[in-house]
Amino acid sequence: MHEPEESDEPTPPAMRRVFDELEAEFEAGLRREAEQESVAAVRAELGATVLWEQLARRVGSETVVLAGPRAFRGTVVASYPEFLVLRAADGAEHLIRHGSAVSVALDPEPPSLRPTPAATTRRYQFALALRELARRREPIRVLLADGTRLRRHDRSSR
């Protein structure tokens, strides 16, 4: 093999600038490549995450949920394996059960993701949430996918 000989002559300043610029471009390319790899890793992780966990990691972000023929727009308050809680602009909170008739529009670039929910969160069920609302005597309205409504009546008002 032939190895280049080092010359005793210093590199001219113009040539040194060219080499410095090429080295800076190469390093910038490496940084861009590393950033793209990390973004791809985050997207792959999100793609492997079930919907309720993605929503739980996006608490505080705005979203639109289509449940049957109804559209709900608001801020994600909480998300569990069976349902999500959405707060509308007027302050009303909606418990929306996950299912085949429900679709959620998520921001492709969330502001900042929270950690994955704890294992205890996985056990909280829709029936428990309704039971807690009844225990607190909160007024609720149930909207069914077929368009009918049910209201909880206080026993004391009969």
CA dist., res. 7 & res. 140, Å (int): 86
Task: Please give the pLDDT value at position 50.
Answer: 78
Asked whether the whole model's pTM tops 0.85, one would answer: no
Residue that wins the pLDDT comparison between 12 and 10: 12
Residue 157 binned pLDDT confidence (cut-offs 50, 70, 90): very low
Condensed to tens digits (0 to 9), the pLDDT of residues 64-112 reads: 988 888 889 999 888 888 888 899 999 888 888 887 778 888 776 665 6
CA dist., res. 29 & res. 35, Å (int): 10
Please measure the distance between the N-terminal and C-terminal CA atoms of the chain and give it in whole angstroms: 100
Bridging pattern class, strands 83-87 and 70-79: antiparallel
Alpha-helical segments (H) within 5-140? 13-47, 51-57, 126-135
CA dist., res. 79 & res. 57, Å (int): 9
Taking the domains of the chain in order of start, what are their residue ranges?
11-48, 51-157
- Tell me, what amino acid is at 41? A
CATH no. of 51-157: 2.30.30.100
